[in-house]
Every structure is written in structure tokens, then in C-alpha cells.
Amino acid sequence: MTEGNFVDYVKLHLKSGKGGAGSAHLRREKYIPKGGPDGGDGGRGGHIIFMADKNLWTLYHLKFKRHFKAGHGMPGGKQTSTGANGEDVYIKVPLGTILKNTETGETICELTQDGEQVIIAKGGKGGRGNDHFKSATRQTPRYAQPGLEGEEINITVELKVLADVGLVGFPNAGKSTLLSVITAAKPKIANYEFTTLKPNLGIVKYRDYKTFVMADIPGIIEGAAEGKGLGHYFLRHIERNSTLLFLIPADADDIKKQYEILLDELRRYNPELLDKERLVAISKSDMLDEELKELLKKQLDADFRNIPYLFISSVAQQGLTKLKDTLWSMLNKKTD
């Protein structure tokens, strides 16, 4: 998936169908010139239904169509025949999609299971035919109910990426390079900050045909929790990752300080993010000779006592097998 095709936020206008009118028909046949009422009910208006689809990764298909309108119900007929229901409209979205009322900001629902369906705009109820209104004192009612109007609503559709591992790091830390090396993803890579403007997903192939999903999240800067840089635009994607991989370059001025800044931004955005499994990867480690690496190890042993860390180089492809082994064991720790 190219970066331009990744859409994780759209606003839609929905309008469900109007219910069909009830019929005020009176029975008229050859030998029954003055039959009673036999008007049928109108059909209900079409619903607008959202459905989760595991084969979708983006909201790109909704980028150019923002208005959805369901079909109207058909009117009732004679012989108490009910009108046909209006045609329902199904809108498919990826797993991890959140639907919110645009006006109130209230979350309507969250779709996380494949095939899960939610009616967001209900079709109007069909009107009742005159057959319902006959009585001993009113034997030929000549009126019926009109159909009810459908619902009209503006909703915001947000996607929180569902990935096993989320890459967390400052801009230009080498996240996109790592993703391009250990997956088949083709993220944009360049030697400047904020090359990645939208999350990239890649499937990491592991031993025995096993796989897990890794997401390259746009780089964090100090103050991101308050909306600086790309702010909340990307932080919401980290909420769905079960394991966080902190990527810090070996040439950073202070590795521990960078880690603490990243951790503080996550804490300020959502303290629950700190409950996730964490792994620190020192990227670009091919720039270190053995002596420098040993010195750095001693420092990191003191700084990261309870957090596992390892050295990797995406360009030189060093330490990547160990990285995949470590991530796999962390991801499957809970299911053992």
C-alpha cells in the first residue's frame, strides 16, 4: 500500500430511506362492489449499514464518495400486500474503525470483528394501510398512514491501525528503512524528518510460515501529545498495537533521554499505553565498532534495567533475526 492510498480519517453524510406510504385501497371485485378496506402497509426505508472487512486496510475507498443515500420503501398495495423495503446500503470498513457523530463528537461504535455489522442510519418505518383502521363503527376507512422519514446524520470515520507491533521513534530514526527490510512494504525513505506522513503496514514473515503485522507510525516530536508536529494524527494508531518497538539511532546524543521523551509523550496522550510490552532497538549500529558497542552496552545495562534492548542495522541487516525472534516471543507470551 502506498502512502498516498492510506486514508484513516473521513467525514460522511448519511441519509436512510423514507418508509413507503400505506394504501387506502377499498376492495372492488365483480360480485363484491362494496368490499371493505384492503390497503397494505408501506415497506420500510433502506438502512445504512457499516460492515467490518478484514481484507481492507484503509478508508481510501471512501475518500471520493462522501454522501450515501439508501432507497425509499415502496407504497402498500391492494389485497393487504406490503410494499417492498427500500434497498439497504452497506459500507465496508477495515477492522479497527471507529464511528463518531460529527456534531456531538460522541463515539457511536467500534468495529473490530470481521463481518460485524452496525446500522448507523435506520430506514423510516412504512405507513400502515387502511386495513388496520377498520372497526365495527368505521367499516370503510378511506385513509392510511404516510411513511416515516429516514434518518440523516453526519459521521466521522476514524481508523486505528490494527497491528501487532508499532514502531515508535523520533523522525528519521530509521523506522521506514527497518519496515522495508523485514517486510514487503515499500514506504517512502529519505534522509530528512517526517518522510513518513501516514502509517505504513507490513507483514513480517517468521519461521514455519508464521507472520505478524508491523506498523511504521510517523515520527514523534516533543509536545506531540498536545498536537505538535503530527500530534494526535498518529498517536491514536499506537493504541491498537500490542507491542511497542522503540527505535533509537546509535548516533543519538543521549539514548536514554530520547527513550524517556518518547515514553513521556505516550504517557501524556494515554497512560494505558505504558502497560504494553516494550522493546528498545538501537538502530544504525553498523556505525559502531566493537569497542564503542561494548561501552554503549555497559551504559544501556544501567539505563534499561527492566526493558529489553538489542542492536540492529537495517542497511547492513545485522541483528534482524534476533529482533524477529524477540518480537515473536513477546507477542505470543500472553497466549502461551
- Residue 198's pLDDT is 54
- pLDDT exceeds 80 at position 222: no
Model pLDDT, residue 226: 46
Q: Are residues 305 and 256 in the same domain?
A: yes
Q: How many residues are there in the chain?
A: 336
Chosen domain end from 159, 185, 211: 159
Average pLDDT over residues 217-225: 54
* 314 touches 181 (CB < 8 A): yes
Q: How far from 216 is each of 19, 219, 284, 310, CA to CA, in Å?
A: 47, 9, 17, 19
In a domain, 139, yes or no: yes
State the Cα–Cα distance between residues 50 and 109, nearest whole angstrom.
10
Using the predicted structure, report yes or no on whether residue 32 has a pLDDT greater than 80.
no
Residues 155 and 15 in one domain: yes
Residue 131 near residue 37, CB atoms below 8 Å: yes
Higher pLDDT, 286 or 108: 108
Which residue from 3, 239, 27, 288 is spatially nearest to 142, judged by alpha carbons?
27
**Separation of alpha carbons 256 and 172, rounded Å:** 17
Q: Between 15 and 139, where is the model more confident?
A: 15
Residue 202 C-alpha cell reads as 507490513
H-helix or E-strand containing 265? helix 255-269
Give the percent of the chain with pLDDT over 90: 30
20-24, 75-79, 159-163, 332-336: range with lowest mean pLDDT: 332-336
One domain for residues 70 and 208: no
Q: Which of 134, 159, 184 is the last residue of a domain?
A: 159
CATH number, position 92: 2.70.210.12
> What is d(CA 216, CA 202) in angstroms, rounded to the nearest whole number?
8
Q: How many helices (H) and strands (E) does the chain have?
A: 5, 14
My answer on whether 59 and 188 are in the same domain is: no
Q: Indicate whether 6 and 49 sit together in one domain.
A: yes
Q: Are residues 226 and 107 in the same domain?
A: no
- 258 φ, ψ (degrees, to nearest 5): -60, -45
User: What pLDDT is attached to residue 237?
Assistant: 67
Q: What is the residue range of 40's domain?
A: 1-159
Q: Is 227 a residue whose pLDDT tops 50?
A: no
Q: What are the pLDDT digits (tens) for 86-125?
A: 999 999 998 889 999 999 989 999 998 999 999 999 999 9
Would you give the distance in Å from CA 193 to the centre of its chain? Answer: 26
CATH number at residue 196: 3.40.50.300
Q: What is the pLDDT of residue 73?
A: 96
Grid coordinates given for 322 = 534476533
The Cα 99–Cα 32 span in angstroms is 55
Residues 315 and 187 in one domain: yes
CB count, 10 Å around CB of 164?
Answer: 20
Among 122, 137, 159, residue at a domain's last position: 159
d(CA 69, CA 46): 9
Residues 223 and 120 in one domain: no
Read off the DSSP letter of residue 313. Answer: B
Amino acid at position 6, single letter: F
Separation of alpha carbons 176 and 200, rounded Å: 8
Considering its fold, how many domains does the chain have in total?
Answer: 2
Q: Do 145 and 18 sit in the same domain of this protein?
A: yes
Query: How confident is residue 187, by pLDDT bands cut at 50, 70 and 90?
Result: very low
> What would the grid cell of residue 247 be?
527505535
Pick from 294, 239, 243, 257: nearest CA to 98: 239
Rounded to an integer, the average pLDDT of 260-286 is 85
**Residue 123 included in any domain:** yes
> What value does the mean pLDDT of the chain take?
82
Over residues 242-261, mean pLDDT: 87
How does pLDDT run across 159-183, given as a tens digit for each residue? 877 678 888 888 777 777 888 888 7
Residues 133 and 213 grouped into a single domain = no
Which cell numbers hold the place of 199? 502509517
Same domain, yes or no: 296 and 194 = yes
233 and 115 in a single domain? The answer is no
Q: Let me know: does 167 contact 323? Beta carbons within 8 Å.
A: no
Q: Are 326 and 279 in contact (CB under 8 A)?
A: yes
Q: Quick one: cell of 323?
A: 529482533
Residue 336 resides in a domain: no
